[in-house]
Amino acid sequence: MSEKTTLGRIIAFVAIASAVTMLVATMIVLDRRPRTHDAYVFAYSAGITPEVSGRIVESHIQNDQLVRKGDVLLRIDPEPFEMKLRQADAQVAALEADIDLTSRQVTSQGSGAQAASLQADRTRQQLALAHNTVQRMAPLLASGFVTAQQMDEARTNERTANAQLAAAVQQASQAREAIGDVESLKAQLLGAQAAQALAARNVRETTIRAPVDGRIAGFNLSIGSFAVEGHPLFTLIDNTHWYAIANFRETDLRHLRPGDRATIWVMGHDEHPLQGVVESLGSGVQPQGQAGPGLPAVDRNLNWVVVAQRFPVWVRLDQADASFLRIGATVSVKVVK
């Protein structure tokens, strides 16, 4: 065998060994630092929905505008709701006046009932006196110490006192029954106050404010448009937290832990890599061929061979103020531990 042949074989062996070594090293690195291009940018968002219906009379926003929590975004015509509030205020005031008047009447009726009860007590005393007089005079009539006329007058007084007592008792009963109360009016007042509070809330709801710091998206309304209660007008993207949702193969998940650091490249902005931290690992995905709510659907790359399923891993970005972040933008994610 010539020296050239031997040298060629040595060179070939070294090249193959180097390639295998590099392949093994690459696999080890990929295992320890998983990465994926199957990822996208995500942020929570809220569909801004009015709680009252009405004509839009003010607009202070435009698409892609940054707003702060509490900023006024839109105003709905408050006039009809202010009228309803005044109507509710008047109803509450009227009921409060009725309660005050009825309370005074109840007090007066109570005083009358008490007076009637006292009159009945006095009549009972008069009847008892008349009855005792008749009882004392009856034995004296036979002895002649009392005349028949005196006896008749005593019996007449007793009958009169008895009739007066019956009348006084009836009057006292009627006076007690005539005493009214304000409980039903108080119940009506509670209902009116609830309507008043709801009317005041509706007036406040005519001013639509930003619930969080965020960015306006999907806004296409002008002043004069009619806002319908319960129908979203536009979207407010929560600008405080941004995420990269990366679909890693299930074989990579054993190398990932919440708290791992990651580097994220947004497509078109590779020169500005972002940093983040793994926040959660996907606990499940929608099984192939099945449908149902609650689990994300992540397709496999191939359906004619068995391939590893991918699970969504949430990576929270450290730089939530990057101007090029957009929901749905394509990114690459590498976990660097």
Mean pLDDT, all residues of the chain: 81
27/257: higher pLDDT: 257
Res 75: pLDDT:
96
Compute the chain's Rg from CA coordinates.
46
pLDDT in tens, 87-129: 999 999 998 888 888 777 666 656 665 766 777 677 777 767 7
Res 133: pLDDT:
74
pLDDT at 44 over 90: yes
Could you tell me if 292 and 286 are in contact, meaning their C-beta atoms sit under 8 angstroms apart?
yes
pLDDT at 291 over 70: no
Sheet of 72-76, strand order? 207-209, 72-76, 54-59, 226-227
pLDDT at 332 over 70: yes
Res 148: pLDDT:
73
CA dihedral 66, 68, 73, 78 (to 10 degrees): 180
Flag the least confident range among 11-20, 46-55, 179-188, 204-213.
11-20
Q: Per DSSP, what are the bridge partners of residue 39?
A: 246, 331
Flag the least confident range among 21-35, 86-100, 223-237.
21-35
C-alpha–C-alpha distance, residues 291 and 25, integer Å: 41
Flag the least confident range among 136-145, 153-162, 234-243.
136-145
Residues 6+ apart with CB under 8 A from 274: 244, 263, 264, 265, 266, 317, 318, 319, 322
C-alpha–C-alpha distance, residues 18 and 24, integer Å: 10
pLDDT in tens, 262-281: 999 999 888 889 999 999 88
Mean pLDDT of 56-60: 95
Res 30: pLDDT:
47
Res 29: pLDDT:
47
Model pTM score: 0.64
Burial degree of 212 (CB within 10 A; 0-12, 13-18, 19+): middle
Res 144: pLDDT:
67
Burial degree of 278 (CB within 10 A; 0-12, 13-18, 19+): buried
Cα→Cα distances 326→103, 239, 244, 331, Å? 66, 10, 11, 11
Flag the least confident range among 137-141, 184-188, 240-244.
137-141
The residue assigned the tokens 């009317």 is: 199
Res 274: pLDDT:
92
pLDDT at 78 over 90: yes
The percent of residues above 70 in pLDDT, for the chain, comes to 72
pLDDT band at 162 (very low <50, low <70, confident <90, very high): confident
C-alpha–C-alpha distance, residues 74 and 57, integer Å: 8
C-alpha–C-alpha distance, residues 166 and 123, integer Å: 9
Res 101: pLDDT:
80
